[in-house]
């Protein structure tokens, strides 16, 4: 586990596109799940 | 120029509807996905109430799937036995879906349920497509050749009542296609989609059908599911508007043919990421509409029969007085348009082959 955390900044730098997509998709899912919970 | 839809009770621009359905048809033909999960939200954005958008898009899907299925029938790339098994499950699923639809309509929540269902389906498909296409781009960059397992067995393959499917060369439990049909029918009834995005992967990865039989069989199943959805929506809610259906069918049939031709000429795998983004954008617009836009009480248009032209008046009265026959007529109408489109396509294709062969011989 600590090994993964140590390598995380390096992996993020290496895969900028993948990181960007992962962040955007998380935000997207966050908005729709939060919206659903609020609207009910 | 705006046209009043006598049953949906809204004004729409026919050119916009024709263009949009043609664009969705092109995407559908290019990527091999059904256009229902894009066209229904677009109809909703254009002001068509969700319950009407769902029902009319189901009727449009019927026409396009009849057109596609006739082409596969002429090529003999259909597994009827497997198709009928999925249809059995699909019929039960559709009936359950209509029951659920009626319940939510009764408590006045159907529009929210449809919007939420679309939002999540588009988010799921968009996310999966985006991840898959990024993976493909990554592999292409690194020149990685992936070795896939020949057979993966899931719990579903251990189910009883096995049956032979000679065309697909399979020995499978009848419960597998029935369960898949059940899910597809349920979703189709609530969302007005054909369900190819579930059917196609399920046929390939779960049933393990030969890939060449998958598109034709999927379209064959979609015909029956959309017939039941159209009929039940028509007799229960009187929501099929033939004027809207004509525009949708004409646009999408032309669009699908263009999309299929484009797909033969260009590599669409790189465009998959763009389609995924489009789905996610449509999903976020629906989310914005559902969560953040204040509910505006739309003024209901109480149109008197005297205001309508002869055709609109006829449709409205036919739907109101004879919902059973109106439902049957809507189905027959879509089926005839679909068959006519398939034969026109075959005629044009044969004509082009003859013409090109002649010109080739003459040049030699």
ipTM of the complex: 0.75
Provide, as residue numbers in chain A, all residues whose Cβ is less than 8 Å from the Cβ of B284.
28, 31-32
Q: What is the percentage of chain B residues whose pLDDT exceeds 70? A: 87
pLDDT digits (tens, 9 = 90+) for B237-260: 888 888 888 889 888 888 887 877
Of B184, B217, B204, the closest CA to residue B83 belongs to B217
- Interface contact flag, A32 B112, Cβ < 8 Å: no
pLDDT digits (tens, 9 = 90+) for B77-95: 788 888 899 999 999 998 9
Provide, as residue numbers in chain B, all residues whose Cβ is less than 8 Å from the Cβ of A35.
287, 290-292
Of B90, B89, B37, B35, the closest CA to residue B222 belongs to B90
Q: How far is CA B260 from CA B27, B29, B41, B125, in A?
A: 9, 5, 23, 21
Tell me the pLDDT of chain B averaged across its residues.
80
Q: Indicate if the pLDDT at residue B44 is higher than 50.
A: yes
Residue pair B274/B267 in contact (Cβ under 8 Å)? The answer is no
- Interface contact flag, A31 B116, Cβ < 8 Å: no
Q: Indicate if the pLDDT at residue B184 is higher than 70.
A: yes
Helix/strand number for chain B, H first, E second: 12, 4
Q: Which of B117, B123, B132, B289 should be substituted to probe chain A, the one whose Cβ sees the most A Cβ atoms within 10 Å?
A: B123
CA atoms within 13 A on the CB side of B27: 20
- Which secondary structure element, helix H or strand E, spans residue B21, and what is its range? helix B14-31
Domain extents in chain B: 3-295+302-351
Judged by phi (left if over 0) then psi (alpha if -120 to 50, else beta), residue B210 lies in beta
Alpha carbons B97 and B84: distance in angstroms, whole number: 19
Provide, as residue numbers in chain B, all residues whose Cβ is less than 8 Å from the Cβ of A17.
134
Provide, as residue numbers in chain B, all residues whose Cβ is less than 8 Å from the Cβ of A39.
112, 290-291
- Interface contact flag, B134 A32, Cβ < 8 Å: no
pLDDT computed for residue B268 by the predictor: 58
Alpha carbons B351 and B359: distance in angstroms, whole number: 12
Task: Map B155-191 to HEC letters.
Answer: HHHHCCCEEEECCCCEEEECHHHHHHHHHHHHHHHHH
pLDDT digits (tens, 9 = 90+) for B252-309: 888 887 877 777 777 656 667 777 788 888 888 888 887 777 555 444 455 555 567 7
Chain B interface residues (partner A, CB cutoff 8 A): 112, 116, 119-120, 123, 127, 130-131, 134, 138, 280, 283-284, 287, 290-292
pLDDT computed for residue B299 by the predictor: 47
Residue B306: exposure state from Cβ atoms within 10 A (0-12, 13-18, ≥19): exposed
Residues 6+ apart with CB under 8 A from B349: none
Alpha carbons B299 and B290: distance in angstroms, whole number: 19
- The tokens of B86 are what? 């999925």
Question: Which of A17, A28, A39 faces B123 most closely, judged by CB atoms?
Answer: A28
- Which secondary structure element, helix H or strand E, spans residue A15, and what is its range? none
Q: Indicate if the pLDDT at residue B33 is higher than 70.
A: no
Of B2, B180, B150, the closest CA to residue B82 belongs to B180
Q: What is the percentage of chain A residues whose pLDDT exceeds 90? A: 0
- Interface contact flag, A25 B134, Cβ < 8 Å: no
pLDDT computed for residue B297 by the predictor: 45
In DSSP terms, B163 is beta-bridged to: B172
Question: Which of B112, B134, B287 faces A21 most closely, judged by CB atoms?
Answer: B134
Question: Which of A21, A25, A35 faces B290 most closely, judged by CB atoms?
Answer: A35
Q: Which of B104, B291, B293, B294 should be substituted to probe chain A, the one whose Cβ sees the most A Cβ atoms within 10 Å?
A: B291
**Scanning every residue of chain A, which has its alpha carbon at the shortest distance from the alpha carbon of B287?**
A32
Provide, as residue numbers in chain B, all residues whose Cβ is less than 8 Å from the Cβ of A28.
123, 127, 280, 283-284
Pairing of the two strands B162-165 and B10-12 = unpaired
Question: Which of B280, B284, B291 faces A39 most closely, judged by CB atoms?
Answer: B291
Tell me the pLDDT of chain A averaged across its residues.
77
Would you place residue B96 in the very low, low, confident or very high pLDDT band (cuts 50, 70, 90)? Answer: very high
pLDDT computed for residue B19 by the predictor: 92
Would you place residue A19 in the very low, low, confident or very high pLDDT band (cuts 50, 70, 90)? Answer: confident
Q: What is the mean pLDDT of residues B227-240?
A: 86
Question: Which of A17, A28, A35 faces B280 most closely, judged by CB atoms?
Answer: A28
Alpha carbons B36 and B58: distance in angstroms, whole number: 8
pLDDT computed for residue B182 by the predictor: 92
Alpha carbons B180 and B3: distance in angstroms, whole number: 40
- CA A32 to chain B, closest CA, distance in angstroms equals 6
Q: What is the percentage of chain B residues whose pLDDT exceeds 90? A: 4
Q: Which of A16, A17, A32 should be substituted to probe chain B, the one whose Cβ sees the most B Cβ atoms within 10 Å?
A: A32
Residue pair B106/B277 in contact (Cβ under 8 Å)? The answer is no
pLDDT digits (tens, 9 = 90+) for B132-180: 777 777 777 776 665 655 556 667 667 778 888 888 888 888 888 899 8
pLDDT computed for residue B123 by the predictor: 85
CA atoms within 13 A on the CB side of A15: 13
């Amino acid at each position: 586990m600590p090994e993964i955390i140590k390598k995380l900044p390096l992996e993020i730098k290496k895969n900028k596109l993948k990181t960007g997509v992962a962040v955007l998709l998380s935000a997207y899912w966050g908005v729709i799940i939060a919206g659903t919970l609020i609207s009910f | 120029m705006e046209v009043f839809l006598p049953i949906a009770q809204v004004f729409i621009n026919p050119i916009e509807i024709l263009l949009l359905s043609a664009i969705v048809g092109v995407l559908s033909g290019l990527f091999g996905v059904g256009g229902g999960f894009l066209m229904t939200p677009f109809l909703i954005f254009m002001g068509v109430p969700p319950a009407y958008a769902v029902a009319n898009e189901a009727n449009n899907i019927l026409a396009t799937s009849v057109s596609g299925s006739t082409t596969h029938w002429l090529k003999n790339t259909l597994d009827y036995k497997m198709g009928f098994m999925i249809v059995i499950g699909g019929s039960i699923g559709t009936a359950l879906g209509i029951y659920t639809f009626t319940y939510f309509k009764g408590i006045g929540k159907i529009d929210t349920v449809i919007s939420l269902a679309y939002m999540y389906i588009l988010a799921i498909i968009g996310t999966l497509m985006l991840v898959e296409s990024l993976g493909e781009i990554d592999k292409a960059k690194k020149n990685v050749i992936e070795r896939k397992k020949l057979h993966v067995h899931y719990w579903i393959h251990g189910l009883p009542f096995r049956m032979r499917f000679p065309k697909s060369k399979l020995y499978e439990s009848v419960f597998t296609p029935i369960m898949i049909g059940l899910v597809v029918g349920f979703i189709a009834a609530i969302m007005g989609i054909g369900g190819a995005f579930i059917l196609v992967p399920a046929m390939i990865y779960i049933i393990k059908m030969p890939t060449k039989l998958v598109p034709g069989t999927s379209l064959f199943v979609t015909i029956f599911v959309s017939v039941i959805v159209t009929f039940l929506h028509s007799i229960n809610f009187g929501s099929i508007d033939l004027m809207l259906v004509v525009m949708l069918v004409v646009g999408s049939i032309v669009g699908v043919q263009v999309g299929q031709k484009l797909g033969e000429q260009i590599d669409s795998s790189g465009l998959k990421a763009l389609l995924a983004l489009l789905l996610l954008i449509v999903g976020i617009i629906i989310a914005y509409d559902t969560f953040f836009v204040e509910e505006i009480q739309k003024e209901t248009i109480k149109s008197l029969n005297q205001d309508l032209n002869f055709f609109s008046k006829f449709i409205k009265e036919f739907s109101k007085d004879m919902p059973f026959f109106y439902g049957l007529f809507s189905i027959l109408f879509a089926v005839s348009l679909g068959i006519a489109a398939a034969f026109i396509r075959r005629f044009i294709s044969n004509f082009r082959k003859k013409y090109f062969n002649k010109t080739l011989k003459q040049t030699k």
